[in-house]
Amino acid sequence: MTEIDLIVHGASQLLTMDPRLAAVGDDDPEAARIGVIPDGALAIHGTDILDVGSSEKILDSYRAQKTIDARGCVVSPGLVDPHTHTVFAGSRHLEFGMRMRGESYLDILAAGGGIHSTVSSTRDASLDDLVSLALPRLARALRFGVTTMEIKSGYGLALDAEIKILTAVRRLDGEQPIRLVPTFLGAHVVPREFVDRRDEYVDLVIREMIPQIAGEKLAVACDVFLDEGAFTADEARAILAAASNHGMAPKIHAGQFTDQGGPGLLAELGGLSADHLEVVSDEDVEAMARGGIVANLLPGAAFSLRDSFPDGRRFADAGVPVALATDNNPGSSRSENLPLMASMGVTRMGLDCAEAWQGITSNAASAIGMSDRVGSLVPGKKADLLLLSIPDFRAFLYHFGVNHTMAVVMDGKVIMKGTPV
């Protein structure tokens, strides 16, 4: 008997996310795809998973200081939200109200709405303000079972303000439990003061922001919004190439409104994920499949903007890994409910339940370069896991819009017990 710190046993289904670990019959190939072990258990030592298997095997092989009886629960990896803009100031509910009354984008701009209003509020906010505004958002995400989250800058659009946002992310990483993965999005939109000299802004991003942010290790990835009204393909290529040279992984917002060839460009540069993808060519889908680029789909933005949902089935059928994110942001998707995005993934985007689970765990981890540490329950990874009050992994998507999280374990420690809502 090996002495270890923690055993979690008796899970009605343990979702390892690794098909090689599956222990289900031939009658449930969907469960096999996400590595379901019935009556499953985990052996945990320190912060990491040491072993997984049936409860019988794990309880026979290890003796633990502490055990958690997960009977009646599905145990899953902690959820990974791979695309958010969680650090911002200001609320845009009045603009939302105008949109829902059918008012035009020009009317909204005239009323002081749009992304520039968030840029203005975020520039005006102090670092402390940004941290305290983000804390309740992160607490809400944690209650929904999110244990790893990407957060982008991009509401600063000036060196000091971008650094302030990324510094807030670093502070938040230390002040609350969720693992935060910072992405630099200086090329979110051309700021108003540069609107007639956009080349200068692109230069500023490349020559000042990227070197300094990389130097201070404030971001692990760099994202560009490639679309009409944002940045061009040439600008995106120059910015992402510079970021790559400074060790930041390229990512791209592409095809939210128009097809500008972003996914192909990203595949060429060897990036992590192309995000949004509501409008995308077959060639770009193939390039993503060949290049191992994750399709990071954002149903909440389509939902809130009254747009069509991205077609998850198309990417899955082409062999592109599909991730699902909240896109939590004040303009187009104000929500921390990642499980709801997974429900939208199945009901509105053509995925099946196993694919939706991959979208918020293993594929989401790949989308942000964290698949060596999180997103699946296999030996060597962080012991980040959820106890869910559901009878089957499919019930998580089926019983939608509510919170099934009974407990959250991170780094092998129980950090939250709750009543599901």
Name residue 135's amino acid.
Answer: L
CB of 45 to a copy of itself, least distance (A): 32
For 63, the 3-state DSSP assignment is strand
- Which residues make beta-bridge pairs with 250? 222
CB of 235 to a copy of itself, least distance (A): 31
Q: In this structure, what token pair is assigned to residue 4?
A: 């270890």
CB of 272 to a copy of itself, least distance (A): 26
Nearer Cβ to a copy of itself (137/381): 137
How many C-beta atoms surround the C-beta of residue 335 within 10 A? Answer: 21
Q: In this structure, what token pair is assigned to residue 90?
A: 């200001």
Contact 383, 411 (CB under 8 A): yes
Interface ranges with a copy of itself (CB under 8 A): 30, 91-94, 96-97, 100-102, 140, 143-144, 300, 303-306, 334-337, 340, 346-348, 351-353, 390-392, 394-395, 397-403, 418, 420-421
Nearer Cβ to a copy of itself (17/42): 17
CB of 408 to a copy of itself, least distance (A): 13
CB of 329 to a copy of itself, least distance (A): 11
Contact 254, 240 (CB under 8 A): no
Contact 151, 86 (CB under 8 A): yes
Contact 374, 77 (CB under 8 A): yes
CB of 351 to a copy of itself, least distance (A): 7
What distance in Å separates the CA atoms of residue 79 and residue 360, rounded to the nearest whole number? 6
Q: In this structure, what token pair is assigned to residue 167?
A: 């510094």
CB of 158 to a copy of itself, least distance (A): 27
Nearer Cβ to a copy of itself (213/397): 397
What distance in Å separates the CA atoms of residue 381 and residue 5, rounded to the nearest whole number? 15
- Which residues make beta-bridge pairs with 37? 14
Q: What are phi and psi of 133, to 5 degrees?
A: -70, -35
Q: What are phi and psi of 249, to 5 degrees?
A: -75, 130
Nearer Cβ to a copy of itself (266/302): 302
